[in-house]
Amino acid sequence: MAEEAAYLAQRYDLSEEILRLESHLGSFKNLLSPKNEEPSGKMLDFVAQELYREANTINSKSQDIEITKASLAIKGEVETIRQHVQNIE
């Protein structure tokens, strides 16, 4: 029973996904920085894809309707970003 409870707690724990989402947002911000002089369109697209993936994982793990709604909103915004990013290079 304790093993099953630990498994379920781990399965529904979103902290790792949130941490990766924050990390990807930081990478995205750095790529958009004026200090970045390298072409970044493909990298921005890649990071946007990772943001979408994390939001999707959060959505599938979530047991809270508000978190589900927020992750769907994130996915929608990231999809819009990806459309814009594809026009950069």
Q: H/E/C letters for each residue in 53-80?
A: HHHHHHHHHCCCHHHHHHHHHHHHHHHH
**Domain-located, residue 26:** yes
The predicted structure's pLDDT at residue 57: 93
**Domain-located, residue 21:** yes
**Domain-located, residue 69:** yes
Question: Whole domain around residue 35: which residue ranges?
Answer: 14-85
Per-residue pLDDT reduced to its tens digit, 57-79: 999 888 889 999 999 999 999 99
**Domain-located, residue 6:** no
**Domain-located, residue 62:** yes
Total structural domains in the chain? 1
The predicted structure's pLDDT at residue 45: 92
pTM greater than 0.75 (yes/no): yes
> Cα–Cα distances in Å, from 1 out to 7, 8, 9, 61, 63?
10, 11, 12, 21, 21
The average pLDDT across 10-14 equals: 71
> Cα–Cα distances in Å, from 58 out to 18, 49, 73?
8, 14, 12
**Domain-located, residue 28:** yes
**Domain-located, residue 56:** yes
